[in-house]
Amino acid sequence: MSFDIQKIRADFPILQQQIYKRPLIYFDNAASTQKPRQVIDAISHYYEHDNCNIHRGVHYLSVKATEAYEEARKEIRQFINAASTHEIIFTKGATESLNLVAFSFGEKYIKPGDEVITSIMEHHSNFVPWQQMCIERGATLRILGVNEHGELDLEELRLFLNEKTRLVAITHVSNVLGTVNPVKEIVAMAHLHGVPVLLDGAQGVSHLPVDVQDLDCDFYCFSGHKLYAPMGTGVMYGKEKYLEEMPPYQLGGEMIKDVYTDHTTFNELPFKFEAGTPNVEGVMGLQAAIHYLQDIGMERIAVYEERLLNYATEKLSAMEGIRFFGTSTHKASLISFLIGDIHPYDAGMIIDKMGIAVRTGHHCAMPLMDYLKIPGTVRASFAFYNTIEEIDQLVAAIVKAREMLS
C-alpha cells in the first residue's frame, strides 16, 4: 500500500497554516507531535456527549464515561501487548510515570548500599528521579557512557551488573542522539542477574511497534502528547508482580478500598496508582490517536520515517562543517547537529524565521551535553507527516544561517 502523504497531512489542521508568510514546517516532533483531526474530534465528542466524573456514579453519564475510559485502557493494553489491563496505569505523562516507578519501586525495593544503573543519554525525567531516589535511600546510581556513535556499550553494562543491582533504567530511544538502544538484549542481560528493567519509551512508542511482552521489560513509560494524543496523558506499564507489591505513589480518592479514621486499605490494580479525577478527555484523545496510528500501521510509519532520516542525513552530510551527534546505524528519525562554531540558539532563530521549527539547547539532557562537551545542539525530529521537500527547505535554511552567522 502506498503512503498517501497528502491525505495524511490533510488530517493535521495545524500544518495548514503559514508562519512568517511561509508554510509551517514542523520538525520539533520529539518535543511534542501535532494532533490529527480525529483526536481533536474525539475530545469534542467527549465533552458534547459523555462528560462526567468516572468510577463513582450509578447514573447514565457516569457509567458511559467509565465504560469509555476502561475501553481505552483495553486498547492501550493491546497497542503495547501488555498481558493485562491491570498493568496499564494512566498518568499525566512519561515524567509522572517515571517518578511513580522511581519513588514507589524505590520505597519497596531499594536499601542503602544498593545500586541502580542508568545511562548518560537519559532525559532528565529518567535521570533526576533515580538520582534523587538513590540519594534519599543511600543507594548508588551507576551511569553507562556512550561511544563515538552515541551507542551504549553492553560490555560496560555486563561489568556494572552485580548482586547489589536492583534496577536498570534506560531509554528505548535517545531524544538527543536518536539511538535506538538494544533494549531486548539489555533486558535479557539484566534478567540473568534477576534485575528488572525500566524502559523510558517517550521517544520509542511513537516511532516503533512496541510489544512489552516480547521485550520482556518490567516497566515501560510514555507520554500521549508525543504520540499524536493530547498533553497531560501518559502510561506507566508495569508487570503485575511488581505493581502488586509497590506502594501507592499518590493518595486520595479512587485509589482507596476502605478508609477508617486510623488506617486505609488500598484499591486493586490499576486503580491503586490512579488517585483523583483522571484526564478522561485526554484518554479519549489517546485512544483516537492509537486508532489513527493503527490505521496507518506502525511498521509503515517506521519505514517512511527511516526514509526521511536517511535523506536528511545524506543531505546534511554533504554540507561542510556539520557535526552530527548520534550516528548509530539504529536510529529513530531525528538528527542532532551543530553548524561549525555557530551557537545552536542563534542557528535556531534564523531557521525559525524561514518557517521551520527545530529545537535548540540541551534537550533536557545536561549530563549528556557535559559528556559531549557541547552547550547544546540543533535538533530536527521528523514525523510521518513531514516530507522530503521540507527537508530540502531545512538544508536551505542551514545554508542561510551559516551565511548570516559565520
Q: Which residues contact 335 (CB under 8 A, 6 or more apart)?
A: 178, 309, 312, 313, 316, 324, 326, 379, 380, 381
Q: Does residue 28 bind ligand PLP (CB under 6 A)?
A: no
Q: How far is CA 226 from CA 93, 107, 188, 209, in A?
A: 9, 29, 28, 14
Q: Does residue 121 bind ligand PLP (CB under 6 A)?
A: no
Q: Which of 175, 313, 328, 386 binds ligand PLP (CB under 6 A)?
A: 175
Q: How far is Cα 221 from Cα 92, in angstroms, rounded to an integer? A: 11
**Interface positions, 224-243, toward ligand PLP (CB under 6 A):** 225
Q: Which of 72, 94, 217, 255 binds ligand PLP (CB under 6 A)?
A: 94
CB of 192 to ligand PLP, least distance (A): 26
Which residue lies nearer to ligand PLP by CB, 68 or 180?
180
Q: Does residue 171 bind ligand PLP (CB under 6 A)?
A: yes
Is residue 36 classed as helix, strand or coil in its secondary structure? coil
Q: Which of 93, 278, 285, 326 binds ligand PLP (CB under 6 A)?
A: 93
- The stretch among 49-57, 122-130, 257-265, 315-323 that binds ligand PLP (CB under 6 A) is 122-130
Q: How far is Cα 99 from Cα 256, in angstroms, rounded to an integer? A: 20
In 3D space, the residue among 310, 239, 225 whose CA is nearest the CA of residue 31 turns out to be 225
Q: Does residue 179 bind ligand PLP (CB under 6 A)?
A: no
Q: Does residue 272 bind ligand PLP (CB under 6 A)?
A: no
Residue by residue, what is the 3-state secondary structure of 69-119? HHHHHHHHHHHHCCCCHHHEEEECCHHHHHHHHHHHHHHHHCCCCCEEEEE
The answer to whether 364 is a known catalytic residue is: yes
Which residue lies nearer to ligand PLP by CB, 94 or 308?
94
What is the contact mask toward ligand PLP in residues 342 to 381, using x (rule: CB under 6 A)? ----------------------x-----------------
Which residue lies nearer to ligand PLP by CB, 66 or 174?
174
Number of residues that bind ligand PLP (CB under 6 A): 15
Q: Does residue 95 bind ligand PLP (CB under 6 A)?
A: yes
Q: How far is Cα 381 from Cα 34, in angstroms, rounded to an integer? A: 12
Q: Does residue 54 bind ligand PLP (CB under 6 A)?
A: no
Cβ atoms of 114 and 166 closer than 8 Å: yes
Cβ atoms of 377 and 338 closer than 8 Å: yes
Cβ atoms of 326 and 167 closer than 8 Å: no
Q: Which residue has the cell 510489544?
A: 211
**Residues known to be catalytic:** 364
Binding region for ligand PLP (CB under 6 A): 30, 93-95, 123, 125-126, 171, 175, 200, 202-203, 223, 225, 364
